């Protein structure tokens, strides 16, 4: 389990590459293909945050949600990062692939992807007074165009029922409020967490982070 907590985003990148290959060689509908691409982009997005250029743990703990540290484990630590991104995040994006006709299931990660632009592109950048933070590139180049493509494809097949919009909003809100914030950043957050980020993880994107946080 220690290996997974430390390397889930590396494992995820491999999973994303395999998913991408599966998307191109498998027999999927256009909707399923788009949803598979969205999942693959998610894994690259997470690697951008934690692997290369990395630095998201320090950005969160010192720049976005500063709670007095320790910066290597509070509020974000290896354990709740695994929970939010992999344990609940991967199924949130991948399950809709197997149920393409359940529109609200696919709409939910699409809406979340749009929300990622609000978080990375607007909120985090305003906090750091920057134009880039780890995770933004994959949102702009991946989640946004894929989300728009998904909506265009759905509407080309007919109007999206209001019920599906409503269920997608409720599902997305539940994922964020209950899964991410309550369980991830409350229940699993601990100043004495035995699952700190390694010094290597905390040093990634270091000079840019230090200059941004110091402003």
Average pLDDT rounded to a whole number, residues 204-208? 73
Q: Would you say residue 209 has pLDDT above 70?
A: no
Average pLDDT rounded to a whole number, residues 7-34? 97
User: Can you read off the two tokens belonging to residue 83?
Assistant: 């929970």
Return the percentage of the chain with pLDDT > 90, whole number: 90
Per-residue pLDDT reduced to its tens digit, 89-110: 999 999 999 999 999 999 999 9
DSSP 176-189: IIIIIIIIIIIIS-
Q: Would you say residue 211 has pLDDT above 60?
A: no
The packing angle between helices 103-116 and 89-98, to 10°, is 140
Q: What angle do CA 80, 38, 48 make, to 5 degrees?
A: 50
Q: What angle do CA 9, 205, 123 make, to 5 degrees?
A: 85
* CA 153, 172, 38, 56 torsion-angle sign: positive
Local structure of 67: helix, strand or coil? coil
pLDDT, position 69: 83
Per-residue pLDDT reduced to its tens digit, 27-79: 999 999 999 999 999 999 999 999 999 999 999 999 898 888 899 999 999 99
User: Can you read off the two tokens belonging to residue 188?
Assistant: 């699993």
């Amino acid at each position: 389990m220690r290996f997974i907590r430390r390397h889930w985003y590396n494992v995820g990148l491999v999973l994303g590459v395999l998913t991408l290959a599966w998307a191109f060689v498998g027999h999927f509908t256009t909707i399923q293909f788009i949803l598979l691409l969205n999942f693959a982009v998610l894994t690259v997005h997470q690697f951008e945050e934690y692997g290369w250029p990395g630095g998201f743990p320090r950005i969160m703990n010192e720049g976005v949600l500063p709670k007095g540290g320790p910066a290597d484990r509070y509020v974000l630590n290896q354990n709740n990062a695994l929970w939010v991104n992999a344990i609940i995040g991967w199924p949130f994006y991948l399950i809709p692939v197997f149920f393409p006709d359940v529109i609200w299931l696919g709409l939910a990660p699409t809406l979340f992807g749009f929300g990622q632009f609000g978080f990375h592109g607007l909120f985090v950048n305003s906090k750091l007074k920057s134009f880039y933070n780890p995770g933004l590139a994959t949102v702009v180049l991946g989640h946004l165009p894929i989300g728009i493509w998904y909506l265009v494809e759905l509407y080309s097949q007919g109007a999206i029922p209001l019920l599906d919009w409503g269920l997608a909003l409720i599902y997305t809100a539940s994922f964020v409020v209950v899964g991410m914030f309550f369980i991830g950043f409350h229940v699993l957050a601990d100043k004495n967490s035995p699952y700190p980020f390694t010094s290597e993880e905390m040093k990634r994107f270091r000079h840019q982070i230090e200059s941004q946080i110091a402003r």
